């Protein structure tokens, strides 16, 4: 029997990798994929909790997370497209209009 800790540690590791990617990569598409990675990490922990606590609510939550992730991907990619149309780049370094 695999203990719950292992799953949670795996989930934390994937989440941190996603976070690291988000904080360091400059390509906005890869940043976006990092966010998806973090969402998946959360899903892993939700499913494993569900399994160990014998409760289906975690699955329901995962279901909603996937729904929102899909919506977010659609909107986010649309934003990236229009950004690229204006800036001709997907590099976030070029996007510093908010500079003080």
Q: Of residues 53-72, which lie at the interface with other proteins (CB under 8 A)?
A: 53-57, 59-60, 62-64, 66-72
CB of 49 to other proteins, least distance (A): 9
CA–CA distance, 42 with 3 (Å, rounded to integer):
17
- 11: CB partners within 8 A, 6+ apart: 41, 42, 44, 45, 48
Phi then psi for residue 27, to 5 deg, are -80, 120
Q: Least separation, in Å, of the C-beta of 40 and other proteins?
A: 6
| Interacting residues with other proteins between 10 and 29 (CB under 8 A) | 10, 12-14, 16-27, 29
The verdict on 87 binding other proteins (CB under 8 A) reads no
Minimum distance from CB of 46 to other proteins (Å)?
9
Q: Which helix (H) or strand (E) holds 31?
A: helix 28-53
Give, in order, the Cα–Cα distances in Å from 76 to each of 68, 73, 81.
12, 5, 9
For residue 86, state whether it binds other proteins (rule: CB under 8 A). Answer: no
Number of shown-chain residues binding other proteins (CB under 8 A): 79
Min dist CB 88 to other proteins, Å, is 9
């Amino acid at each position: 029997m695999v203990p719950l800790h292992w799953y949670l540690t795996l989930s934390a590791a994937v989440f941190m990798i996603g976070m690291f990617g988000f904080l360091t990569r400059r390509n906005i598409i890869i940043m976006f994929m990092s966010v998806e990675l973090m969402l998946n990490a959360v899903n892993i922990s939700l499913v494993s909790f569900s399994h160990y606590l014998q409760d289906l609510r975690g699955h329901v939550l995962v279901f909603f997370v996937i729904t929102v992730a899909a919506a977010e991907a659609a909107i986010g990619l649309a934003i990236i497209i229009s950004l690229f149309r204006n800036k001709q780049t997907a590099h976030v370094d070029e996007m510093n209009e908010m500079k003080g």
